[in-house]
A = this chain, B = another copy of it.
Amino acid sequence: MSEPEEKSENIPDASAGKGVPNGGNSAKTQEDFDLATIYVSDAQYNRNIYFDTSPQAVRLYLLYNHWVFKVLLYFFILVNLSLAVFEEPALVSLPTWATMLVELLCLLVFSVRLAHYAKVIPRDKFWKDPKNICIIVVLLLTLTDMIIYGGLKAANCYSVRWSRVLRPLLLINVTEGRQLRRAFRSIRNALPEISYVFVLFIFSVLIFSLMALKLLSKRDLKTIEGTPYFTNYLEIVFELYVLVTTANSPDVMMPAYNKSSVFAIFFILYILINTYIFMSVFLAVVFNNYKKYLKEEIQQLVRAKRHKMARAFGVLQEQKEGGQPVVSHENWNKLVRQVRPDISNAHKELLWRVCDDDNQGFIGKVAFVQLADLLNIEVITLKSRPHPLESLIPNLYQSGPSRLLCRVVQHRGFVIAFDLIILVNAVFIGLDEENPLISNSEWFFLAIYVLEILLKLYVFEPRAFFSKHSFWNWFDTIVVFAALIATIINSALKSSGGYTSRQVLDIVFVLRVLRLIRVVDCIERFRAIINTLIRIGPAILTFGQLILVVYYIFAMVGMELFKNKVKFYEDLSNPESTYCGNPLLKGSTFAQLSYCKNNFNNVVSSFILLLELTVVNQWHDILLHKHPPMLTAGCCSPFQQESLIIFNFVSI
């Protein structure tokens, strides 16, 4: 959908250069710096927007990229998506006019943002870009749907808010949804290769089913429910497809196996070929293709980045006498100040020294092009500041006992001692907290943890201790103090009326258990694994958005189709609760396993249900006793799982 964006904008055509003043020793205007700033920050954040280079458009574009507007946009997308919680079938009911009003506001924000974008890029480019067309169509369709729905509602007619399915498309098609579009594009590009394997896989399932039909249908076998076993071709195909996902693994085989051990060969061959070999081939094909296209995308990004930096250089260049075009230190400084106003002078000086390693006072094109990457490198400023107590009470802080304390806290034994305390604490948490000794011990542990933090603050410089990168220090402090506050509230409630709030107690428990996680930090290797996981977080998040889009669409469709078909009753004495309020489910496995809460009656239930389908086990039980159309959701589940594995894989 959005491919032309990156494709066409990587190679800007000649006309785009019209606004770029030629090099020379002329003084650079503010407009030149604005333009160069945009090129550099576009290169830095891998933006590929083909903007107008007129000074007015450039100023608008700078505004367009301001972080406040981006945050606002995402906030309204979130509001728009979460409207599903309040709309029928609702988790929290709101009147229709309220949700409609909020949705109108969202539409307005999206329109304004799009209009802003239209001002920034040339008109013909705007109308050629499928993502803008897509947003406009979605906005118009939503508006139409809202009018129809409002009208029908006013006339008390039945109507469906079908445009809700389109909402996630906005998330994909906004200019900032670049990563998401890239992921979608990689999947789409891999599809043709996958489809060949898929067809072959389906062919194999069909052939095996035909063989099963011929071998088993005439033997009068019965399933444990007493129904005829393997007599209908389509049912066999479905059963064997379920077997690929392993969800009905031994059950589907048992009647034939009980009849004769020879039939086990059939099922073993089937599992080997379809579950193991074909699924592995799928994984391999998806992995290879995804990797291939990702590589291509990244190569393209790198080319585009260099190109943009070269254009920024073109704007700011000056002609050295009889030499190559260069950018002076002064102009460079001004540019960096505008691109990243937040960085310190020391940092800026460091960057300049890296670029101008010959100390000439100006840099050429090659050195200039590196700037985008250099700006992305995070520089940690380590200032060895003295401890504030040292300047406040130098005599006491430098005294013998104080120094001994510092040495003790910094010693490896101190860490080990606290790890042991945590382990003892774990045992205490596991024991029954109604025993007064156990529940009082909590105060002791809390005191010890608070003491540990205070000691560390005494020894280490507080600003270094709570620096941006000290994840575990932050984690510790927050968990310990939150637990302290929750425990105090809990005992205050208890002593005031002997009443303990279950919610407060739950929070206390969760916080206590979270404290134990700290043990992980003490072993180098574990820290490395955790840090790797944290570093691949963004890649997983992109994929999380992708899953969200798919889930949202399925949830919206599912809610319209199946709402209130299956009901959950809190009150188990209600006779309807044994068949989920739907006579069709009387005596079904679905009701027997008390799956009534797995329904499409609100957006939260729908998401949980879809997740259960993704986890695969029992998915056939969940589906079969509903309605055939839900099969589609089930079919996508094993593939979602496959792709999830792959995505994590790739991101590592």
Contacts and interface: CB of A to CB of B under 8 A. Distances in A.
A246 B280 contact: no
Question: When A and B form their complex, which 4 residue pairs have the shortest distance between CB atoms, in order from nearest?
Answer: A280-B648, A249-B617, A214-B509, A246-B617
Contacts of A510: 211, 214-215
Contact of A517 (B207, B271, B616): B207
Contact of A276 (B250, B271, B648): B648
A291 to B, nearest CB: 13
Interface stretch (A22-30, A73-81, A592-600): A592-600
A636 interface: no
B506 A215 contact: yes
7 contacts: A200-B526, A254-B594, A258-B596, A258-B597, A271-B615, A280-B645, A280-B652
Interface string A195-225: 0110110010001001101110000000010
A264 B610 CA distance: 13
B616 A254 contact: no
Interface in A570-603: 592-598
B281 A526 contact: no
Main secondary structure of the interface of A (DSSP, over half): helix
A224 B258 contact: no
A247 B526 contact: no
B430 A233 contact: yes
Interface in A493-545: 506, 509-510, 512-513, 516-517, 519-520, 525-526, 529-530, 533, 540
B246 A644 contact: no
A425 to B, nearest CB: 11
A283 interface: yes
Given A261-B605, A268-B611, A622-B250, A214 B529 contact: no
A652 B281 contact: yes
A612 interface: yes
A275 to B, nearest CB: 7
A593 B254 contact: yes
Contacts of A564: none
A592 to B, nearest CB: 7
A604 interface: yes
Interface in A268-285: 268, 271, 275-277, 279-281, 283-284
A471 interface: no
A605 B268 CA distance: 12
Given A250-B598, A250-B618, A258-B568, A264 B608 contact: yes
Contact of A249 (B196, B214, B540, B616): B616
A214 B612 contact: no
Contacts of A283: 645, 649
A203 B433 CA distance: 22
A246 B615 contact: yes
A520 B605 contact: no
A214 B502 CA distance: 11
Contacts of A284: 648-649, 652
Interface string A557-572: 0000000000010000
B254 A513 contact: no
A540 to B, nearest CB: 8
A460 interface: no
A451 interface: no
